[in-house]
């Protein structure tokens, strides 16, 4: 974005088309001015899942794949969603005159967080193969003697998170290489090869020696082995673990991990939370979530009115409702009846229904709230569903929409946790009042209501029940349904207070508090529904 917006409306990276083309030019320059194959590692702040497309839809992923980038290392998420935020990108590269269409891959690894979690990463490139390990330090004041021995196997690589399918012309390497970091002198380094098809039985033990081209104290250890013995159709059959013994006799073991000497990639299964934040393209998910919610609210408001109109004026729809009720099983009959009752009676209160319609139209077309979008004491701008409308620095009338789709951190929680439950609660209070008035005025049971409906007495079902007072059993806080609705109202009120408080903290208390659409309309509508249902 040309203008920086304060959080939480700064969730996404916004590369321009010029920036993406500049990155591609740098990668192309490396390809054209090098006689050997280069290992390319790209660093960036935002993960691809939270990187928006450029003006014409350009993205980084096809460029990284086309220029054989090995890994993209990012940050931004601060390890709050897991320590293994890894993703293997696969992109189809179009064919050229002398090159057929190919499928290229590159890894994306979240870097972790130093500020809060004290993670550091060791990245190694071993003849083009990129590997890494993360080390967590207990504190910045940790004495050097407390540093735990760290072991990074640079070849063969972990087939779950580092290997890629290699070119068929590449030969299998007969090497085992590892980096060992320790404050104590190292006495022995041993590699154990285990076969998972035989209950992880050890099949070979290989001692590693300090590399001959490394001076004293260097961390590189090396061994030769017959890698062809471990060629397998499975990328997870053979597993590797290094054991290190230092001068104090302390033994440290590396993480047991699978390997493939052919460079095959094993399936990496992230946690569901890591998948949500790292594998989904949230720019696209945001559009789906936003418009599915808006469509649901429009359907919730319009369908009951249309159904009510048709059933009142057309006997065929009345017969259809009766046939659905009678032909269904008892459980289905009750469900259909209660659903129709909820929709029709919930939308009968014209004042509340029109208020909900006007409120939804306002949210779709008008500003939600005003606030200090760019700085704590800067100018006040307005936030709409399309983003922040910010005037240019020249002060002219021209303006631009910023913070899209970043504003999903504001709009989605508000629409899903406040507006949608609010509309459902208003319908629920209206339907509960209508049912309570019917019980009170007719002195009947639920089975009698069903009888009126099933026997064709449609007007009884469809009539508006004019009730000036509620019986003792229908007064406020009476009955489990009434209590449940009031409890849900309290929950929605608390969520609304928390969301609005967060907006005030981020963009200023006064301008947000004076924005009625976000701050005052939801509690007002909820209170109006409760008061009306007690009359």
More confident residue, 105 or 291: 291
pLDDT at 393: 57
- Residue 240, C-beta contacts closer than 8 angstroms, at least 6 positions apart: 153, 156, 176, 191, 192, 193, 194, 256, 257, 258, 259
Average pLDDT estimate for 121-138: 87
**Model pTM score:** 0.80
pLDDT at 397: 45
Q: What is residue 259's DSSP assignment?
A: B
Q: What are phi and psi of 476, to 5 degrees?
A: -55, 135
Candidate from 87-91, 145-149, 362-366 with smallest mean pLDDT: 145-149
* Band of pLDDT at residue 91, cut at 50, 70 and 90: confident
Candidate from 58-72, 212-226, 332-346, 501-515 with smallest mean pLDDT: 332-346
pLDDT at 1: 57
Provide the b/e sequence for 22-55 (b: ≥16 CB within 10 Å).
Answer: ebbeebeeeeeeeeeeeebbbebebbbbbbbbbe
Residue-wise pLDDT tens digits, 260-298: 988 888 888 888 888 999 999 999 999 999 999 999 999
Domains of the chain: 1-117 (3.30.750), 144-270 (2.60.40.1220), 282-368+407-533 (no CATH)
3-class secondary-structure state, position 525: helix
Average pLDDT estimate for 474-485: 68
Candidate from 237-251, 327-341, 491-505 with smallest mean pLDDT: 327-341
More confident residue, 418 or 311: 418
* Band of pLDDT at residue 487, cut at 50, 70 and 90: very high
Q: Given a cut of 70, is residue 21 above it in pLDDT? A: yes
Q: Which of 490, 492, 513 is nearest to 501 (CA)?
A: 513
* Band of pLDDT at residue 471, cut at 50, 70 and 90: very low
More confident residue, 142 or 49: 49
When the pLDDT of each residue in the chain is averaged and rounded to a whole number, the result is 82
Residue-wise pLDDT tens digits, 422-466: 999 999 988 887 766 655 554 544 445 445 544 445 445 444 444
pLDDT at 99: 63
Torsion 302-303-307-308 (CA) sign: negative
The beta-carbon contacts of 250-255 under 8 Å, at least 24 apart in sequence, are: 250/149, 250/184, 252/148, 252/149, 252/151, 252/182, 253/151, 254/151, 254/152, 254/153, 254/178
Distance CA 156, CA 176 (A): 6
Q: Given a cut of 50, is residue 474 above it in pLDDT? A: no
Residue-wise pLDDT tens digits, 153-189: 999 999 988 766 555 446 788 999 999 999 888 999 9
Q: For residue 464, count CB atoms less than 10 angstroms from its CB and return exposed for 0-12, middle for 13-18, buried for 19 or more.
A: exposed
Residue-wise pLDDT tens digits, 336-393: 667 777 888 888 888 999 999 999 999 999 999 999 888 877 788 899 998 888 776 5
Q: Given a cut of 70, is residue 412 above it in pLDDT? A: yes
């Amino acid at each position: 974005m040309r203008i920086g917006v304060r959080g939480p409306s700064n969730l996404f990276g916004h590369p321009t088309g010029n920036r993406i083309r500049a990155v591609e030019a740098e990668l192309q320059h490396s390809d054209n001015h090098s006689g050997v194959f280069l290992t390319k590692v790209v660093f960036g702040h935002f993960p691809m899942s939270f990187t928006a497309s450029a003006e014409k839809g350009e993205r980084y992923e096809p460029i990284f794949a086309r220029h054989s980038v090995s890994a993209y290392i990012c940050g931004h998420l601060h390890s709050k969603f897991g320590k293994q935020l890894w993703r293997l990108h696969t992109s189809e590269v179009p064919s050229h005159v002398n090159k057929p269409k190919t499928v290229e891959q590159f890894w994306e690894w979240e870097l972790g967080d130093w500020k809060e979690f004290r993670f550091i990463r060791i990245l190694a490139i071993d003849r083009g193969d990129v590997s890494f390990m993360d080390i967590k330090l207990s504190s910045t004041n940790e004495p050097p003697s407390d540093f735990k021995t760290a072991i990074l196997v640079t070849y063969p690589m972990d087939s779950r998170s580092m290997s890629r399918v290699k070119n068929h012309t590449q030969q299998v390497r007969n090497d085992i290489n590892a980096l060992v970091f320790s404050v104590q002198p190292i006495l022995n380094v041993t590699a154990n090869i285990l076969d998972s098809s035989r209950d992880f039985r050890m099949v070979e033990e290989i001692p590693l020696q300090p590399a001959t081209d490394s001076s004293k104290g260097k961390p590189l250890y090396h061994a030769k082995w017959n890698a062809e013995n471990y060629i397998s159709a499975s990328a997870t059959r053979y597993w590797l673990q290094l054991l290190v013994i230092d001068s104090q006799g302390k033994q440290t073991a590396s993480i047991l991990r699978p390997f493939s000497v052919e460079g095959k990639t094993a399936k990496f299964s992230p946690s569901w939370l890591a998948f949500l934040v790292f594998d989904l393209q949230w720019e696209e998910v945001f559009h789906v979530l936003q418009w599915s919610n808006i469509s649901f609210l429009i359907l919730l408001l319009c369908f009951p009115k249309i159904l009510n109109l048709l059933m009142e004026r057309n006997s065929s729809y009345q017969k259809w409702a009766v046939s659905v009720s009678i032909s269904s099983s008892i459980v289905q009959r009750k469900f259909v009846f209660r659903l129709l009752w909820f929709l029709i009676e919930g939308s009968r209160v014209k004042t509340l229904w029109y208020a909900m319609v006007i409120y939804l139209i306002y949210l779709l077309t008008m500003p939600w709230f005003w606030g200090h979008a760019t700085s704590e004491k800067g100018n006040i701008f307005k936030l709409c569903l399309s983003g922040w409308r910010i005037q240019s620095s020249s002060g002219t009338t021209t303006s631009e929409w910023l913070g899209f789709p970043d504003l999903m951190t504001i709009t989605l929680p508000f629409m899903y946790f406040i507006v949608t439950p609010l509309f459902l609660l208003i319908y629920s209070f209206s339907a509960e009042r209508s049912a309570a008035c019917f019980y009170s005025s007719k002195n009947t049971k639920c089975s009698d209501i069903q009888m009126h409906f099933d026997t064709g007495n449609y007007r009884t079902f469809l009539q508006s029940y004019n009730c000036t007072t509620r019986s003792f059993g229908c007064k406020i806080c009476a009955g489990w349904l009434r209590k449940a609705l009031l409890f849900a109202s309290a929950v929605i009120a608390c969520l609304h207070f928390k969301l609005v408080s967060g907006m005030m903290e981020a963009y200023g208390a006064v301008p947000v508090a004076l924005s009625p659409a976000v701050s005052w309309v939801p509690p007002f509508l909820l209170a109006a529904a409760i008061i009306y249902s007690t009359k």
